[in-house]
């Protein structure tokens, strides 16, 4: 009976969203150029064979293969409606978005800040959120993460000089932080297919994405990379151990331990941390993993708590560096 009720709710929310949904207009010349650019990149990617992988690795390689298939064979201008995107990186009408929107509206800076920042674009043809059709469930969800980070730390992501986001979906969090006024350097690290999608999305929204060579000397802009050596070089050269932030919402907790152990030492000097994770992913006990990791970090005040409005024991881990 409960499952039937949940299914009916999903159908109802989908119907309400459809009332505000609009078909895409014919592509502009600029859109055609962006689409062809990413198709060229994806034609160079080979299908990845998930042989001998852990369950978590296998899942992400299969997702990357599915994304490549859709980019080359479907309408890229509607990528936010593709199954692999909806499954892995785009919230639509999930039940937990409603209390998150209520929280944002309750903040004193709602009208002057968040209401403007979460106004959705038509890039990717996002599904309107039924309670707030000018935005999407995904954008509201990301705004909630940032607002809780601000509440717990009294810091603002948009005031950072460098942000490193591990994973990053299709670039929605990066886009949101720029819309909040971010003027620093932003690094996104992901699998090659997702890095290419992020480049497409961010450039389509007017955000500057640099090559590795240009990013090194730039004062602002975004780097989308899947090269671990590039990442190490950038992080070793381009932050001053302060005013830097690490973001990983359900991403670092979905990667094999070996990759985590390559990434996490790079962020030891960072000032701020916004992590969301599930208690268990595949073969990994994430609660134990993050407890051990945070206990080894010095001069950081950590707050770890269950996100009660999301089912299945999902948690926030937020950190702020304190004076010696």
Give the model's pLDDT for residue 256. Answer: 87
3 state SS of 280: strand
Tens of pLDDT, residue by residue over 197-220, are: 999 999 999 999 999 999 989 999
Tokens encoding 54: 């852990």
Q: How far apart are CA 237 and CA 235, in angstroms?
A: 6
- Output the six-digit token pair for 280: 């268990």
Helix (H, G, I), strand (E, B) or coil at 317: strand
Confidence class for position 2, pLDDT limits 50, 70, 90: very low
- pLDDT > 90 fraction of the chain, expressed in percent and rounded: 76
Average pLDDT score over the chain = 91
Buried b (16+ CB within 10 A) or exposed e, 84-97: bbeebbbbbbbebb
Reading the block at residue 303, the tokens are 């707050």
Cα dist. 255→83, 239, 252, 268, 312 in Å? 21, 25, 5, 19, 19
Give the percent of the chain with pLDDT over 70. 92
**DSSP symbol at 22:** -
**Is the pLDDT reported for residue 83 higher than 60?**
yes
Q: Provide the residue range defining the domain that includes 186.
A: 1-324
pLDDT in tens, 101-143: 999 999 999 999 999 999 999 999 999 999 999 999 999 999 9
- Sequence-ordered alpha helix ranges (H) in 24-96: 29-43, 55-73, 83-88
- Model confidence pLDDT, tens digit, residues 295-315: 999 999 999 999 999 988 999
The torsion of the CA quartet 219, 225, 228, 229, rounded to 10 degrees, works out to -50
Q: What is the pLDDT of residue 112?
A: 92
Q: What is the pLDDT of residue 115?
A: 98
pLDDT band at 51 (very low <50, low <70, confident <90, very high): confident
Q: pLDDT at residue 187 above 60? A: yes
Residue 317 has pLDDT above 60, yes or no: yes
What's the CATH number where 69 sits?
3.40.50.150
> For the range 8-12, what are the long-range contacts, defined as Cβ-Cβ under 8 Å and sequence gap of 24 or more?
9/95, 10/93
Q: Greatest CA span in the chain, whole angstroms? A: 59
Q: For the segment 234-271, what is each residue's pLDDT rounded down to a tens digit?
A: 998 865 556 999 999 999 999 889 999 999 999 999 99
Can you give the pLDDT at residue 6?
53
Number of helical (H) and strand (E) elements in the chain, helices listed first: 13, 12
pLDDT of the residue at 134: 96
Domain count of the chain? 1
For residues 64 and 307, which has the higher predicted lDDT (pLDDT)? Answer: 307
Tens digits of residue pLDDT in 145-185: 999 999 999 999 999 999 999 999 999 999 999 999 999 99
- In whole angstroms, how far apart are CA 4 and each of 1, 86, 98, 101, 286? 5, 21, 20, 26, 32
């Amino acid at each position: 009976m409960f499952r039937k009720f949940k299914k009916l709710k999903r159908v109802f929310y989908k119907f309400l969203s459809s009332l505000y949904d609009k078909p895409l207009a014919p592509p502009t010349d600029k859109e055609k150029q962006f689409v062809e650019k990413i198709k060229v990149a994806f034609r160079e990617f080979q299908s990845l064979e998930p042989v001998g992988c852990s369950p978590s690795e296998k899942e992400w390689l299969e997702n990357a293969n599915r994304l490549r298939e859709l980019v080359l064979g479907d309408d890229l201008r509607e990528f936010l409606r593709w199954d692999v995107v909806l499954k892995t990186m785009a919230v639509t009408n999930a039940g937990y978005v409603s209390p998150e929107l209520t929280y944002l509206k309750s903040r004193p800076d709602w009208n002057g800040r968040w209401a403007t920042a979460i106004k959705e674009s038509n890039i990717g043809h996002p599904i309107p959120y039924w309670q707030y059709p000018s935005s999407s469930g995904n954008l509201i969800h990301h705004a909630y993460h940032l607002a809780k980070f601000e509440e717990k730390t009294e810091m603002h992501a948009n005031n950072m000089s460098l942000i490193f986001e591990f994973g990053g979906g299709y670039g929605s969090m990066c886009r949101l932080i720029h819309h909040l006024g971010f003027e620093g350097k932003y690094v996104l690290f992901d699998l090659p297919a997702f890095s290419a999608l992020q480049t497409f999305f961010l450039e389509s929204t007017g955000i500057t994405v640099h090559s590795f060579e240009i990013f090194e000397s730039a004062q602002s802009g975004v780097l989308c990379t899947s090269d671990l050596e590039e990442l190490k070089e950038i992080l070793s050269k381009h932050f001053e151990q302060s005013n830097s932030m690490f973001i990983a919402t359900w991403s670092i907790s979905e990667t094999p331990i070996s990759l985590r152990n390559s990434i996490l030492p790079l962020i030891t000097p960072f000032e701020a941390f916004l992590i969301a994770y599930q208690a268990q992913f595949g073969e990994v006990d994430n609660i134990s993993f993050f407890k051990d990791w945070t206990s080894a970090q010095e001069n950081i005040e950590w707050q770890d708590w269950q996100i009660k409005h999301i089912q299945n024991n999902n948690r926030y881990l937020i950190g702020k560096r304190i004076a010696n």
